[in-house]
Amino acid sequence: MARRNNDPHLAYCFKVQVNAPGISAVALFKSAGGLGDETEVFDYREGGNNATTHRLVGATKFKNIVLKRGLTGPEFIAWRDMWRNPGPKTRATGTIQQLDTKGNPQITWEFSEAWPCKWEMSEFDASKSEVSIETIEIAHEGLKKV
């Protein structure tokens, strides 16, 4: 019988793919954050029942996905430009895959109705010898682990 590996997945390399009309971007990132959601809770006190408070379910909000990597190519900047400049806008679908030490996908998350809401470059500083880091933030309307 083969031994099943129950070790936790290492969190150090992510592959991100975005698909939208006119844009197909795939890149490796050094970090991926914001994979989560939160559902609002509304407290409701019923008249005549002062002993308890009912907790009602509100809307679910998805956090923005934040991706960071060394600056390597124009794919994600082109996607951001499409949203920053005048013209038609089309939302994207995409995946984030957590990779193992051999580059094989271990966990995949799918996001939908996505668009880049923020792009930023790290500070340039001649007194340091660091890699330039590109950060892109993606707003979306759905995230699920597949």
CA separation for the pair 119, 81 (Å, rounded): 10
Render pLDDT for 38-72 as a digit per residue (tens, 0 to 9). Answer: 999 999 988 887 788 999 999 999 999 999 987 66
At residue 72, the pLDDT reads: 60
14 in Cβ contact with 28 (< 8 Å): yes
63 in Cβ contact with 69 (< 8 Å): no
pTM strictly above 0.95: no
Render pLDDT for 7-38 as a digit per residue (tens, 0 to 9). Answer: 666 666 788 999 988 788 888 888 889 999 99
Residue 69 backbone phi and psi in degrees, to 5: -160, 165
115 in Cβ contact with 82 (< 8 Å): no
At residue 3, the pLDDT reads: 41
* Whether residue 80 has pLDDT greater than 80: yes
List the structure tokens of 126: 């001649």
At residue 9, the pLDDT reads: 65
35 in Cβ contact with 96 (< 8 Å): yes
At residue 122, the pLDDT reads: 87
pLDDT band at 5 (very low <50, low <70, confident <90, very high): low
